[in-house]
Amino acid sequence: MRAAPLAAFAVLALLASGTAKAHPHGWIDMSVRVVTDDQNRAVALDQTWRMDPFYSLIVFDELSRVTDATFEQGLDQLGHDIRDNLAVQGYFTELRLNGEPLALGEVSDYTTLERDGRLVYMFTLPLAEPAALDGATLEYQIFDPTYYIEVVHEEKDGAPDPSALALQGDLACRLSITPADPDPELVLQAALLDEDEQGEPGLGRFFAETGHLRCGEE
């Protein structure tokens, strides 16, 4: 298998190819499941990312041209490349418990597949240490720091779909997703970026939706 071209496909999938005239240059539809252990502690985030149709088409077309590997082998290598690419960027994920940042572990469980014409990347992002949820508030944001690609929860009727955030476990929690509400000046700043430019690191945070889990008694 030709690993170098497949690594380039990962860049296409995650960093886009600069064909749009303003930010973002692509998008990811995501869903998140918070995984708990038998002590009602959060231990991981199961994430499912659906790459946008345009870039999915580009990637699938390139994978079909690799003559020394099957399509499935190409997807496997692509998943590995995506994982490595995301690892150096904190998997695009920030996690907080009662307002305090939580450290994340390393991804080892991931799957890449084609579904309904979209490139789908599914992975389990473990926490570095289990986090007790009873009586606590867990929040996360998932975003490209430079806002080159937009990461949003799956939508329903023009708003984040409540089913895009789920909890695996028996603890009673209130789950919600807060849409982003960026300052108009930041919206203009992002729109003025040329097709080959990235935003300043941290710009994507202002366009990120926030998932909330409020668990137990408050």
| Cα distance between residue 36 and residue 40, in whole Å | 6
3-state secondary structure at position 31: strand
Taking residue 210's Cβ as centre, other Cβ atoms within 10 Å add up to 17
Copy the structure tokens of residue 60: 């699938």
3-state secondary structure at position 197: coil
Identify the CA nearest to 207 among candidates 184, 188, 182, 189. Answer: 182
Mean pLDDT confidence for 176-204: 63
Is the model's pLDDT at 196 over the cut of 60? Answer: no
- H/E/C letters for each residue in 60-120? HHHHHCCCCCCHHHHHHHHHHHHHHHHHCCHHHEEEEECCEECCECCCCEEEEEEECCEEE
Is the model's pLDDT at 183 over the cut of 70? Answer: no
In the block, residue with structure tokens 């939580």: 102
| pLDDT for the residue 23 | 59
| Cα distance between residue 2 and residue 41, in whole Å | 42
Beta-carbon contacts of 76 under 8 Å, excluding residues fewer than 6 positions away, are 112
Q: In this predicted structure, which of 16-25, 95-104, 160-169, 192-201 has the lowest mean pLDDT?
A: 16-25
Span 29-88, pLDDT tens digits: 999 999 999 999 999 999 999 999 988 998 898 888 876 778 888 899 899 999 999 999
Copy the structure tokens of residue 188: 């203009």
The model carries a pTM of: 0.84
Q: In sequence order, what are the beta bridge partners of 96?
A: 101, 139
